[in-house]
Homo-oligomer: A and B are copies of this chain.
Amino acid sequence: MGRWEPNARERLAKAALELYSERGYEQTTVAEIAKRAGLTERTYFRHYADKREVLFDGSGALQELFVNAVAEAPESAAPIDAVAAGLEAVGTVFVDRREHSLRRQAVIVANAELQERELIKLSSLSAALADALRRRGVSEPAASLTAEAGVAVFKVGFERWTADPEDRTLARAMRESLAELKAVTAGG
């Protein structure tokens, strides 16, 4: 087996999610993931530090995308509208990813350690969004509260999207979730 494997990273991620779904996260070994992907353990560890990381591979890119869209929103945009632009950007990358997201969500919900990791990622996203808003000149506590509101909308919108039998897009689920947050905070 050569050192370079086409799409090794994606094949490993796919194999891991399949096995975690079939057998459970705890019951799956890295050796089994590598085997399912037709690769070696050595190759696995060239791409991922551990069993957990393979599930969170996309979260750095997602945070960057979200934060960049907030930073690049028109100067005149209100903080919540800059966050809405970030949610739109995130919505665009999950087209055709609903099945995958649904499975990933099910694996995470079933394991406390994975849930913790997910909470840490969301907390890091909130901090990064608050930073981006402060760089836009938004003062505290507005920056932190808008960032928290954005993460709440993202979290609830994402859950609704994965759970929804209708085929609405993630972008639409995010928009609906934001509209609902606006309605509830307005006392509606």
Contacts and interface: CB of A to CB of B under 8 A. Distances in A.
A141 B158 CA distance: 11
A180 interface: yes
Interface string A60-82: 00000000000000000011110
Contacts of A181: 145, 149, 185
Contact of A177 (B78, B141, B177): B141
Contacts of A22: none
Contacts of A159: 144
Given A119-B116, A123-B119, A186 B182 contact: yes
Given A115-B120, A116-B119, A119-B119, 19 more contacts: A78-B188, A80-B184, A80-B186, A116-B120, A119-B123, A141-B160, A141-B177, A144-B156, A145-B156, A145-B177, A145-B184, A146-B184, A148-B148, A148-B152, A149-B149, A149-B184, A181-B185, A182-B185, A185-B186
A31 interface: no
Contacts of A157: 141
Nearest to A117: B116
A153 interface: yes
A119 B127 CA distance: 13
Contacts of A180: 141-142, 145
Contacts of A146: 184
A119 to B, nearest CB: 4
A183 B139 CA distance: 13
B183 A142 contact: yes
Contacts of A176: 141
Nearest to A145: B181
A155 interface: yes
A58 interface: no
